[in-house]
Amino acid sequence: MIAEHIAIEAIDVLLVDVPAIRPHRLSVATMNCQTLVLVCVRCSDGVVGMGEGTTIGGLAYGEESPESIKVNIETYFAPLLKGMNAARPGAVMAKLRGLYQGNRFAKCAVETALFDAQAQRMGVPLSELFGGRITDTVEVAWTLASGDTGRDIDEAEDMLARRRHRVFKLKIGSRAVKDDVAHVVAIKHALGDRGEVRVDVNQAWTESDAIWAAKRFSDAGVGLIEQPIAAASHAGIKRLTELALVPIMADEALRWPADASALARERCADVFAVKIAQSGGLLGAASVAAIAQAADIDLYGGTMLEGAIGTIASAHLFSTFGELKWGTELFGPLLLTEDILTEPLRYENFALYLPHGPGLGVTLDWDRIDRMRRNRTRGASIAMN
């Protein structure tokens, strides 16, 4: 039986600027505000799918920015997509990937919107399109990134008391290595066994820096080191992994599924950070996870500090993984001062709870989004029930 042709009629891209609850300090930038890139795909059957392609720190982190995502989708993707069959998201994305290079975040946003629409059409949660969820909750770590030791300790204590997070990742790499190590060790000592501490260096160190720090982290009980050196240095990551002082997680090195294959073949990490935007979409992220599982490499559900759309899309996919040993980092909406949903995502008992409705299972608050969007002159064009 041939599936009905359901045309893609329109694609809208919105930039929504939302202040952060506090400065979020990375090795490459400090974020005081997050720009959510929301993509709305309207279909001829009346179904509307939503996706998100949000980045971290603009061009300081990667080759795409919120502005480039918007321009490239509107200029290149949209003319190609209009009229294509929305009921065949895999075929649509294959065409898109075949014609246009790179643009992983933009492709992720469009693909998420297409799969959201398709799941709504079928009356099932998005997770059912990727094998079906195994769990209704995913554990969520919290990132401590103020850069102030006392403030970070207080923040972690508050999260533990509220039973919202018990795993803490520290963003380091912007200061001298010895200062970063002292900062991390002090926080771990303050939390003791009540909270797990991990670090993310965002490629800021040399290999010798990482070796020196890893010994001290191991002695202090730090549980994981994420991307300590340059993503291109597969040999260096492999040597750090083989030292076995602290488990090593690959993140920026996993730009495409092909990178996952290369890293797995050489056993260049103990853990893979799976990110839907970094992998070019849900399909790419699922491939990265499959490669890791086949190579007996552990999984971690990563984030690009997306808002509610990218976060819950990631959670739908992560819920289908056979094992998510290192949990997730899907705290993005909690870092923002305002929510874009009529009913916020549910964070309780150290976990994020997945909704059960069709598609992404969430409802956007368009009045609030319209108030925060950068260009408000087209607000009426994205109003939805």
Known catalytic residues? 171
- Cα Rg of the chain (Å, integer): 20
SS3 126: helix
Q: Please, which residues have CB within 8 angstroms of residue 92's CB and are 6 or more apart in sequence? A: 8, 81, 84, 85, 86, 114
Q: Which of 369, 311, 316 is nearest to 339 (CA)?
A: 369
Cα dihedral: 278, 35, 170, 276 (round 10): -20
- The residue assigned the tokens 């993140």 is 251
Phi-psi region of 359 (alpha: psi -120 to 50; beta: other; left: phi over 0): left
Sequence-ordered list of residues with C-beta below 8 angstroms from that of 81, at least 6 positions apart, any chain: 8, 11, 41, 92, 96, 110
User: What CA–CA distance (Å, rounded) separates 199 from 222?
Assistant: 8
Residue 35's DSSP bridge partners are 17
